[in-house]
Amino acid sequence: MTEWTILGAGALGCVMAGLLRRQGEPVSLLLSERHRGHLHPSLDLITLSGRHQLIHTRPCFAEQAGQIRCLLVVTKAYQVVEALQGLHKLPESTPIILLHNGLGVAAQVQALYPRNPLIAAVSSHGAMKEGDWLVRHTGKGETWLGPINAAAAGHAGLVSPLAAALGHAQWSEDILRLQHQKLAINAVINPLTACHNIRNGQLLEPRFADVLEQLSEEVHQVMLKLGGQEQLDDFRRRLHKVIELTATNYSSMHQDLAHGRRTEIDYITGYVINNANELPVPVCRQLYREIQRRSGKPPRRRTSNG
C-alpha cells in the first residue's frame, strides 16, 4: 500500500486526505515551514451527512521529499511551481498528480521534473474550510486522472484507491478534454459570481440571462478552437446543471476575492483570453480586468501560452 502525500492543506486537500484515511489509506500532509515546531493536530472533517470525524495524518516537510512515493498537489494554480521547487530529493519514479483549477502550469512542472510521471486530475468534489484544521465536504462528484507525459502511462492503477475513497475515480487518456470542460464552466461561473458578490445559483436570475448567454458563447468558441467538440446548447445545459447543483455554494474565486486573497483569474479567464487569438471575447476581457482591479493588481500583459 503506497502512502499518499498531499501538498496543499487547504479545503480540498484536507477533504481528500480525510476521505483517503477513512478507507485505510496511509496519508501524509506535506506542510510548509510555518507549521514546523507546531503540534500537528488531527483534521476535523465534517462529512456530507454533517458528522464530525477526526482524521489522523502524518506530517512531513520538504527535506523528507526522498520518502515520497505518490505526490498529490492540491494547491492554487499559482502556488504549484513554487511549492514544488523545494522538493530537491523527490525521486524520479514518484508520480506527481496536479489537481487545481485552471490551466497553464503543467509545462512548468515538466521543466522542473522532466523524468517524473506527471498526471493531471479533475475533480468536482466540493470542500470548504471552516477553521484551522476544520473542513467540510460540501459535495460529491467525479474525479478523473490522466497522463500528461509518457512516463505517467503506467500509473492508471492509482484510480483504484481513489475510487474507493471518493466514490468515483477513472483514468482518461484524453484528460486535456476533461480539463477544458471544467475550465469552461469555471470561466463562466467564477468571475461572474466574484464580480457580483453572489452565490452560484443567483446566476440563473433573469438579470444575468444576457451576460450568461454572451459569456458562454465566448468561452465555447475558444474551447472549439482548442479542439473541443461539444455543441453550444450542450455546453449551456451542462453549465446550468452545474449552477443548479452548486446553487448554494460560493465559487472559489468569489471566496478568494472576498477574503483578500490572490485569485486564479490568470489560469481560468486568462487562459481563455490567451487562446482566443483573433476571436472576440469582450466579456471575458472585461471580467478579467475587473477581477484584477478589485484585487488591487494591474492586469497582466498576456503571453501566447497562458
- CATH tag, 4-173: 3.40.50.720
**Contact criterion met (CB below 8 Å) for 184 and 281:** no
Task: Judge if 4-173 and 177-294 fold alike in CATH terms.
Answer: no
pLDDT band at 300 (very low <50, low <70, confident <90, very high): low
Q: How many angstroms separate the CA atoms of 97 and 246, rounded?
A: 25
Confidence at residue 64, expressed as pLDDT on a 0 to 100 scale: 95
Q: How many angstroms separate the CA atoms of 96 and 44, rounded?
A: 26
Could you state, in order of their start, the residue ranges of all structural domains in the chain?
A: 4-173, 177-294
Confidence at residue 37, expressed as pLDDT on a 0 to 100 scale: 73
Confidence at residue 297, expressed as pLDDT on a 0 to 100 scale: 67
Q: How many angstroms separate the CA atoms of 52 and 136, rounded?
A: 9
Rounded to two decimals, the pTM is 0.92
- Percent of the chain past pLDDT 90, that is, above it, reads 88
**Contact criterion met (CB below 8 Å) for 215 and 189:** no
Mean pLDDT of the region 274-282: 96
Q: How many other C-beta atoms can be found within 10 angstroms of the C-beta atom of residue 204?
A: 13
Q: Average pLDDT of the chain?
A: 93
pLDDT band at 102 (very low <50, low <70, confident <90, very high): very high
Out of 76, 182, 225, 241, pick the active-site residue: 182
Whether residue 76 lies in the annotated active site: no
Q: Regarding the domain delimited by 177-294, which CATH topology (the fold level of the hierarchy) does it fall under? A: N-(1-d-carboxylethyl)-l-norvaline Dehydrogenase; domain 2 (1.10.1040)
Give, for 257, the enclosing helix (H) or strand (E).
helix 252-258
Predicted confidence (pLDDT) per residue in 10-51, tens digit: 999 999 999 999 999 999 999 988 877 776 789 999 999 999
Predicted confidence (pLDDT) per residue in 212-252, tens digit: 999 999 999 999 999 999 999 999 999 999 999 999 989 99
Outline where DSSP puts E strands in the chain: 4-7, 27-30, 43-46, 52-55, 58-60, 71-73, 96-99, 118-123, 126-131, 134-139, 143-147, 170-171
